[in-house]
């Protein structure tokens, strides 16, 4: 797992080793993106219609689970790739960079494919957390790996980069796990069963129907938010250092939001928490039945004052607005004034379905941190299949969205990759499409760091 393809490039280069794209040119606009490091995680086991058919990618396609690193400095772009087990079946938040950009963390919800694996059920449960050393971005290496609870869903890196929070849903429990990371190795992992904090269900399904799908750190590093998407709720916890080690304490009330709050984000000022409410029907037995026909939405939670005592800590959902159909990922600009969701629409459905869409979209919204008002600006089309994750760059001047695969894999500007928009500030703001950065098949999340 230490074999790496690497090369140094300038404004226009060729990316080698990408499936069906032996000589795709790197677009010149990449040097305008405000980031020292761009990390993209790709799942090679699935094709977009695996969700509909249950069948994995054909072995002869040669796809691999891959972490791709782009390093931007002084007008130069260095690219490298490393095999890292991961799965698109989780939320996009299975990969995140440490704030200093020197480490990437990845979890695997489903394990690696073995010879003869043909359908989803052939994949084992995942249970590993990886730390990838990016000190030399042209030669990334797996510095550490540790076992965590099986079927981890999402991770988040603390603001100081020294802890990784993970949520996992085993057959018996929904867990929050906190892993320490120092000097290239994982330390003790603390596990907290959400049922012990009153997060329980009444269903006969596993865990009583409780599923945790997102965890996020408050900018202060004191609190975390956990999305319980099957119950349309968000729970908040405070992390405490005690003589017995790390403890988890409920922070205020659990908040009801919109249907299926799959992922979420704190605003940079720490005053709000936003959820992307996908809106799926979990009782459905088919993909068409599960995916919503109506637009998804974003909920706005105003958080309690950080100085409030226990009895006075009260969080409140103060509103929300519709986005577009099947919104999965969400991103907040560094200044907290813009929100974007990444919307699959009907792209993962078979082309013969009457609900199939060729185009997905990115929705841009404005946010007022003074009063929590959220206003939709517009939907911007993305010609591609199954976009999921996205991020603003470090100055908020660009927005990057992953595209799992294209309709025409032979076209460099229409295959798997990063769809890049310039953010046009104004009244109202807008997104201007610049083009696509080619990536290995299966790109499903992206993160940036300095």
Q: Give the model confidence (pLDDT) of 232-243 as tens digits.
A: 999 999 999 888
Which residues lie closer than 8 Å to 196 by C-beta, 6 or more apart?
Answer: none
Closest CA to 438 of 10, 26, 28: 26
pLDDT digits (tens, 9 = 90+) for 366-408: 999 999 999 999 999 999 999 999 999 999 999 999 999 998 6
CA distance 113 to 116: 8
For the chain, list residues with pLDDT below 50: 1-24
pTM above 0.85, yes or no: yes
Distance CA 248, CA 266 (A): 19
HEC assignment per residue over 101-136: CCEEEEECCECCCCCCCCEHHHCCECCEEEEEECCC
Instruction: Report which DSSP code applies to 290.
Output: H
pLDDT of residue 25: 67
Question: What is d(CA 51, CA 431) in angstroms, rounded to the nearest whole number?
Answer: 30
| End-to-end Cα spacing for the chain | 25
Distances (CA, A) of 109 to 93, 172, 385, 387, 444: 11, 16, 21, 19, 14
Domain ranges of the chain: 5-449
Lookup: tokens for 4:
């790496």
**Checking phi first, is residue 285 left (phi over 0); if not, alpha (psi -120 to 50) or beta?**
alpha
CB contact at 8 A, 442 and 409 = no
The dotted CATH code for 5-449 is 2.130.10.10
Cβ–Cβ under 8 Å, residues 272 and 264: no
* 336: CB partners within 8 A, 6+ apart: 267, 268, 269, 367, 369
- Helix, strand, or coil here: 439? coil
Name the CA dihedral angle for 51, 42, 45, 323, rounded to a multiple of 10 degrees: 0
Number of H helices and E strands in the chain, helices first, is 2, 32
At residue 4, the pLDDT reads: 31
> What pLDDT is stored for residue 373 in this prediction?
97
Q: Which long-range contacts (CB under 8 A, 24 or more apart) does 382-385 make?
A: 382/419, 383/358, 383/359, 383/407, 383/414, 384/347, 384/360, 384/414, 384/415, 384/416, 384/419, 384/436, 385/48, 385/347, 385/348, 385/360
- CA 365 to CA 387: how far, in whole Å? 18
CA nearest to 404, candidates 445, 349, 352:
445
449 CB neighbour count, 10 Å cutoff: 20
Please give the backbone phi and psi of residue 208, each rounded to the nearest 5 degrees, phi first: 70, 20
């Amino acid at each position: 797992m230490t074999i790496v393809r690497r090369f140094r490039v300038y404004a226009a280069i060729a990316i080698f080793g990408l499936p069906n794209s032996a000589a795709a040119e790197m677009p010149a606009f990449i040097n305008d993106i405000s980031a020292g490091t761009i990390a993209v995680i790709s799942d090679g086991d699935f094709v977009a219609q695996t969700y509909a058919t249950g069948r994995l990618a054909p072995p002869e396609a040669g796809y691999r689970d891959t972490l791709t690193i782009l390093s931007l400095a002084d007008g130069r772009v260095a690219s490298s790739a490393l095999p890292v087990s991961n799965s698109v079946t989780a939320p996009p938040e299975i990969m995140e960079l440490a704030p200093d950009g020197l480490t990437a963390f990845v979890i695997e919800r489903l394990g690696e494919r073995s010879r003869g694996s043909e359908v989803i059920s052939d994949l084992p449960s995942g249970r590993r957390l990886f730390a990838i050393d990016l000190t030399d971005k042209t030669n990334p290496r797996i510095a550490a790996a540790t076992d965590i609870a099986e079927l981890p869903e999402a991770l988040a890196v603390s603001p100081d980069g020294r802890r990784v929070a993970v949520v996992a849903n085993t057959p018996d429990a929904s867990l929050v796990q906190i892993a320490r990371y120092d000097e290239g190795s994982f330390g003790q992992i603390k596990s907290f069963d959400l049922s012990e904090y009153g997060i329980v269900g009444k269903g006969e399904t596993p865990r009583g129907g409780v599923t945790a799908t997102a965890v996020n750190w408050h900018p202060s590093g004191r609190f975390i938010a956990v999305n319980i998407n099957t119950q349309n709720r968000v729970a908040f916890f405070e992390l405490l250092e005690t003589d017995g080690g790390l403890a988890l304490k409920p922070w205020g009330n659990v908040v009801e939001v919109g249907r299926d709050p799959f992922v979420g984000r704190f605003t940079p000022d720490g005053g709000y928490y936003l959820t992307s409410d996908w809106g799926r029907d979990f009782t459905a037995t088919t993909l068409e039945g599960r995916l919503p026909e109506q637009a998804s939405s974003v909920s706005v939670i105003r958080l309690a004052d950080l100085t409030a005592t226990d009895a006075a800590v009260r969080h409140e959902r103060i509103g929300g607005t519709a986005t577009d159909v099947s919104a999965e990922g969400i991103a907040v600009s560094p200044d907290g004034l813009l929100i974007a969701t990444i919307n699959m629409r009907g792209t993962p459905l078979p082309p013969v379905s009457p609900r199939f869409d060729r185009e997905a979209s990115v929705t841009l919204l404005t946010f007022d941190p003074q009063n929590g008002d959220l206003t939709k600006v517009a939907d911007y089309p993305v010609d591609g299949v199954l976009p999921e994750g996205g991020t603003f760059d470090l100055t908020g001047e660009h927005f990057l969205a992953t595209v799992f695969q294209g309709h025409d894999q032979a076209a460099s500007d229409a295959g798997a990759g990063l769809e890049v928009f310039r953010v046009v500030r104004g009244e109202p703001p807008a997104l201007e499409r610049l083009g696509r950065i080619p990536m290995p098949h299966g790109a499903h999340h992206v993160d940036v760091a300095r």
